[in-house]
Copies of this chain bind each other. A is one copy, B any other.
Amino acid sequence: MALADEAGLDGLSMRRLATELGVVPMALYKHVANKDELLDGIIDTVVGEIDLGPVEGDWRPAVRARILTARAQMLRHPWASGAIESRRNPTPAVLAYMNSVIGLLRTGGFTVDLVHHAIHTLGSRILGFSQELFDDTPADPGAQEAAAHAMKDTFPWLAEMALQVAHDEKSIVGSGCDDQFEFEFALDLLLDGLERLRSAV
């Protein structure tokens, strides 16, 4: 995890990890069957650190809080979301996390069926991350605005949006979007919809 934190997911190779540990690459294979198992291990650790303590109150704030806790952990370890996405089978800690969220929904009055749909609907957002289609925080804020201007003829709708976003955000914190706001916006929209379905039964 330390190596991934500082070198990113790409920088985490068996060879590099070995030299970091002052050891020859093949020595790692006495502790781990292969690289996949190593990745499963660090995923299990990072997800296992998410606090699953009991939460009181309605299902909605409870689920919201749990997901935002997970998100904080993902932000602490930026490689984690990519690592999780790359895996095909869930690790025990991921299962435990899912189990806890499902529990909050079930005790909150969701039917088994609706929980199932809810899990699919939340998708990776349940673990606190969402894959954006592209990185909207380019290095140069001015360049972004210039690019938006250049798009006005070919992609007018896109340019309109990009320009307004660039304008709005410039007053706050340079360019790019407020990821945390957008995440919570989407999360609340989903939770609203789920509550509507739950109470409609």
Q: Are A123 and B157 in contact (CB under 8 A)?
A: no
Which residues of A147-201 have CB atoms within 8 Å of chain B's CB atoms?
A: 151, 154-158, 160-161, 164-165, 177, 182, 185-186, 189-190, 192-194, 196-197
A131 beta carbon closer than 8 Å to chain B: yes
How many Å from the CB of A50 to the closest CB on chain B?
A: 14
Tell me the number of copies of this protein.
2
Binds B, one of A13-21, A54-62, A87-95: A87-95
Q: Hey, which bits of chain A sit against chain B, CB under 8 A?
A: 84-85, 87-90, 94-96, 98-100, 102-103, 106, 112-113, 115-117, 119-121, 123-124, 126-127, 130-135, 151, 154-158, 160-161, 164-165, 177, 182, 185-186, 189-190, 192-194, 196-197
